[in-house]
Structure 1
């Protein structure tokens, strides 16, 4: 037992200190973020893209490939009216919210990202997600992801997150709504561009993407590092700040406490802290009803979204969680 205790202690020491052993490139990315990010008057963070300056000039032509891929997407959309409506709705929302805007000046270099739709029928919120292809090669065989630094992992591992979650008597889950869209990219970083036209009669137009873009190699680092920065800046939220740094896996929150009163206060502080950063938490669920009393119904997870043996469950971190029984489960695929 003494040997087991020592091994468990060492495991948590490694998990808590994993971010301190950065490679030279990871440290460069961390330093770049720390010295270039700013926070606007609304509380939202603006970041600079971590670019490999030595190969930036090697980007070739990307318009032709992006236009060809857009034509293929449009062909697919003509055959699926529901998908077309979802696609157009996504792009229109993106434009209205300022996440993309018509290109008004030529950026040098330019990189146009192809995009396509991924259907997620099991999701209780977003059924269709538009993915931008940062790995698409240019005419010089370089992709945007080749030019961008990936950055280090700044959150605990998936296993550590799940194990932490199982320690507590009272637990709750949630996720950040549209996490990537909340992070602004500096106007001088005009690498992220796309081609789009809503109707076939329109001329194809180039657009700048003004927020962190799902599909680029640096986006996960920028999103999670910004979340940690929000915690670093959250001195007014002593319960929520350490939870943000410890109990998030990307945009999924899994946290808890044996003290129900403290956990209720933690939930309230989490909502306030995330709001200060321009984000919001949705899809709340818990194994104790008191933890959801202050959460509006529209922000709660729909327990009937996933069912196994008639017992209501939700999906979190690719697992099924049954809040009433407080158990994890798996749903085996059906093989024909």
Structure 2
């Protein structure tokens, strides 16, 4: 039928998609069609479709509108798509064709209307159109599309965020805003796109269903690229950008980014009191634990990370009481008090009603790659970064916690409020740090501002500078810039003693304090999880061998205990990953003992594992006193076997004397699929890794790279 034959939908269509989620508010099932067809439509149902109304199930009748990305031969555009299981064909509007510069050959299309009248119309057949979710970049090809003047769906029926926020059952649904007409109608000729993966029921007849993904394969690349756009990101950024402001004490304040700004929370004080009573009983049994806990909370209050609440009453659902408990760091053994924003009461927790926000942190591999560029390395850490960004005063009651007066469990309980510490804290803290650079960029050099943008991974600062003199100025300038937003960088480390001497001792790293820098060796530090031998200026591995059972779980735990983001150790680790995959292929359970022949291989590997500590890679790409660099090239190598495939990237540097030096940058490995593949195909898969890595490295290194070379021994790839 015209406009997708007979369109089945709710009385008021409210369909929306958020990361594969469609929300449909069903008051009653009815037929929707162009207004000229409405008179007498009920009497035509049986004659036209030969079905009774009672036979019409929800699965067959539901239609919905989603925000999508559409890709033609040259362009990618955003539009609304009407997904309709009642249509035998898929259609594209002429307006969308023009936006995509899409053309096709003409054909005669027979259209059967609701009156059972067949009309013949001219239509263009469009091929090579691809579709993806609104906030994804992986496309799937659509079948043939037929052109039509327009897709007759009223955009006023598309829901808004306000429609969704009234139901906490759909707390994860965010409505992307898109001021576009409906440009596509996806019929049952693309039926795989209609298949629901999950249905979530709300109150009464409201429900949400998760749709199938638009792509059949997700390629995980070394750069872990973030989506170009997502509706969650847009709403979060809009709300945070609108509310952020610098207070008189030099710190940024931000409103809590609620999914629904008018959120009403249940009264959960009784739950927090129960948890506090449990703590009190534990304190009486464990005095040492109590003293550490009390000291931690006292430090929070003394440092201004928490404040006493004068009005402790619960009013109008705008107060939430946070439970808290102690967690001991597995390596440092120090106690940390954790405020549990995920503790549920009446099926709801504080994190449920907050937008998590986008990942605004820099890429970890990118930060490490830049950390290796120059000869003088510097590293620091922002003190209590999340606590330096405060929540605005009207929202502080949502972060209330109970504690005894003066920490004395015999005293009355009073209310305090932490100034941050929710699911959105990482995004808000990173936003405030970058906002500091933006607000003060006119007062500092470009290199200093760029360092704040590029050299931080959350609260860790890693950078490299050509010489000690510049590094001393750089440390001073970066410290001054971030202090404008209330941040303080401490725990400074450098491989240059002159730089360390310029930093007050109280601001140096713990293992550097008290050293006689003219005599003592510099310590071994962690650099974003990697081991940095500061004295030798090398990156190496820390192997802490723990006996684990010879099971699939034990093997995986041992392998994952070795952090290797740059994949220097993959030649050692990859054979055991292959072994674990072999166990998966043979259907071994997680705790089943592995066969004797595999156990022998495992034990030999495990006994040799400490040798990995002897392997190291120079931190800096260039040797000391290499001189002025006049040319930089990248060389990428890839290969594959029947068990795994991978690639490695090198930087090739030439100085003014014509001397050449090569250094490894990073690598990447993959296991073959469980069902196997052909060697030529795996060689092609291996070749895709350096192709993506080359673009990533050029973007992250920010070096004048003159050329890139890709090496393979496969004629298929060539």
SS class of match (1:113): strand
Flag the structure with larger Rg: 2
Is the CA contact (8 Å cut-off) linking 2:495 and 2:522 kept in structure 1? no
Moved over 4 A (4+): none
RMSD over aligned CA atoms reads: 2.5
Deviations 1:111-155 (A, max 9, x none): 1111112223744xx93321111111112x111001110111112
Is the CA contact (8 Å cut-off) linking 2:437 and 2:482 kept in structure 1? no
- Residues 330 and 224 of structure 1: CA distance in aligned 2, closer, same or farther (over 3 Å): same
Aligned to 2:268: 62
Is the CA contact (8 Å cut-off) linking 1:212 and 1:222 kept in structure 2? no
**Shift in Å, 1:330:** 2.8
Q: Does 1:326 align with 2:527?
A: no
Q: Does 1:27 align with 2:234?
A: yes
Give the Cα separation in 2 of the matches to 1:326 and 1:29: 41
Q: 1:96 aligns with which of 295, 302, 306?
A: 302
SS class of match (2:482): helix
SS class of match (2:462): strand
Give the Cα separation in 1 of the matches to 2:451 and 2:348: 39
Q: 2:484 aligns with which of 273, 276, 285?
A: 276
**Shift in Å, 1:257:** 1.8
Q: 2:340 aligns with which of 108, 111, 133?
A: 133
**Shift in Å, 1:82:** 3.3
Aligned to 2:380: 174
**Shift in Å, 1:270:** 1.1
Map of 1:140-289 to 2, 5 A cutoff? 141-189=347-395, 190-197=397-404, 198-209=407-418, 211-213=419-421, 216-235=422-441, 236-238=443-445, 239-289=447-497
- Residues 318 and 84 of structure 1: CA distance in aligned 2, closer, same or farther (over 3 Å): farther
- Residues 290 and 86 of structure 1: CA distance in aligned 2, closer, same or farther (over 3 Å): same
- Residues 90 and 160 of structure 1: CA distance in aligned 2, closer, same or farther (over 3 Å): same
- Residues 281 and 60 of structure 1: CA distance in aligned 2, closer, same or farther (over 3 Å): same
TM-score normalised according to structure 1 size:
0.85
Is the CA contact (8 Å cut-off) linking 2:493 and 2:512 kept in structure 1? no
Is the CA contact (8 Å cut-off) linking 1:314 and 1:322 kept in structure 2? yes
Aligned to 1:110: 319
- What residue ranges of structure 1 are gaps of 5+ in the alignment? 1-10
Q: 2:292 aligns with which of 86, 102, 114?
A: 86
SS class of match (2:321): coil
Give the Cα separation in 1 of the matches to 2:246 and 2:512: 39
Aligned to 2:256: 49
Give the Cα separation in 1 of the matches to 2:337 and 2:351: 18
SS class of match (2:490): strand
Is the CA contact (8 Å cut-off) linking 1:170 and 1:287 kept in structure 2? yes
Is the CA contact (8 Å cut-off) linking 1:302 and 1:314 kept in structure 2? no
Give the Cα separation in 1 of the matches to 2:507 and 2:285: 34
Q: Does 1:294 align with 2:502?
A: yes
**Higher normalized contact order (CA 8 Å, seq sep 6+, divided by chain length):** 1
**Shift in Å, 1:224:** 0.8
- What residue ranges of structure 2 are gaps of 5+ in the alignment? 1-220, 514-520, 548-718
TM-score normalised according to structure 2 size:
0.41
Number of residue pairs aligned between Structure 1 and Structure 2: 312
Give the Cα separation in 2 of the matches to 1:127 and 1:297: 23
Give the Cα separation in 2 of the matches to 1:82 and 1:237: 48
Give the Cα separation in 2 of the matches to 1:328 and 1:130: 33
Give the Cα separation in 2 of the matches to 1:63 and 1:331: 45
- Residues 304 and 41 of structure 1: CA distance in aligned 2, closer, same or farther (over 3 Å): closer
Is the CA contact (8 Å cut-off) linking 1:66 and 1:113 kept in structure 2? yes
- Residues 54 and 272 of structure 1: CA distance in aligned 2, closer, same or farther (over 3 Å): closer
SS class of match (1:243): helix
**Shift in Å, 1:335:** 1.9
Q: Does 1:120 align with 2:323?
A: no
